[in-house]
Amino acid sequence: MEYKKPNVCCVCGSKLVITGLRCESCQTEIHGEFRGCDFCSLTSEQSDFLKTFLRCRGSIKDMEREMGVSYPTVKNSLEKLVLALGLDAREDIGDGETGSDERLSKEKVFDMLSRKEITAAEATAMLEEIFDGR
């Protein structure tokens, strides 16, 4: 059985570092400090979301149908994925009024929560991502 590499320390919660690699064929081992790929740090939920996004060819309407969730939920999950990958996180205002991209802020998260566009758990995760990125 193959297990997914843990991303955080079970003792203190800090990010884990890859320190060893082994060849499956000849069993050669290499020790050092290695950086994992950007996608290696995604949670299972984020990986599943990304696969669904790709399978739906980026169509949010198709994702709503496949996942059985609302448009704001898909958009918020997409924003969390963007933040998790360390990409330039931009929030799509969604109402079409401004058309400008703005950086996701804690105020916007609270606004989305007050409008019930996201759940408390989603807001918590988004705020953690914001504060971890600073």
Q: Per-residue pLDDT tens for 94-125?
A: 444 333 334 567 888 888 788 887 788 878 87
Q: How far apart are CA 78 and CA 129, in angstroms?
A: 13
Task: Answer positive or negative: Cα dihedral of 39, 45, 46, 51.
Answer: positive
Assess if residue 13 is contained within a domain.
no
Q: Tell me whether residue 10 is in a domain.
A: no
| Domain that residue 64 falls in | 40-132
3-state secondary structure string, 44-92?
HHHHHHHHHHHHCCCCHHHHHHHHCCCHHHHHHHHHHHHHHCCCCCEEC
In a domain, 102, yes or no: yes
Domain annotation covers residue 44: yes
**Average pLDDT over every residue of 23-30:** 93
Domain count, the chain: 1
- Report the predicted TM-score, pTM, of the whole model to 2 decimal places: 0.49
Judge whether residue 26 has pLDDT over 90: yes
pLDDT bin (cut points 50, 70, 90) of residue 56 is: very high
> Cα(85)–Cα(78) distance, rounded to whole angstroms?
11
Q: Is residue 110 part of a domain?
A: yes
Whether 17 is covered by a domain: the verdict is no
Examine residue 29 and state whether it is found in any structural domain, yes or no.
no
3-state secondary structure of 18: strand
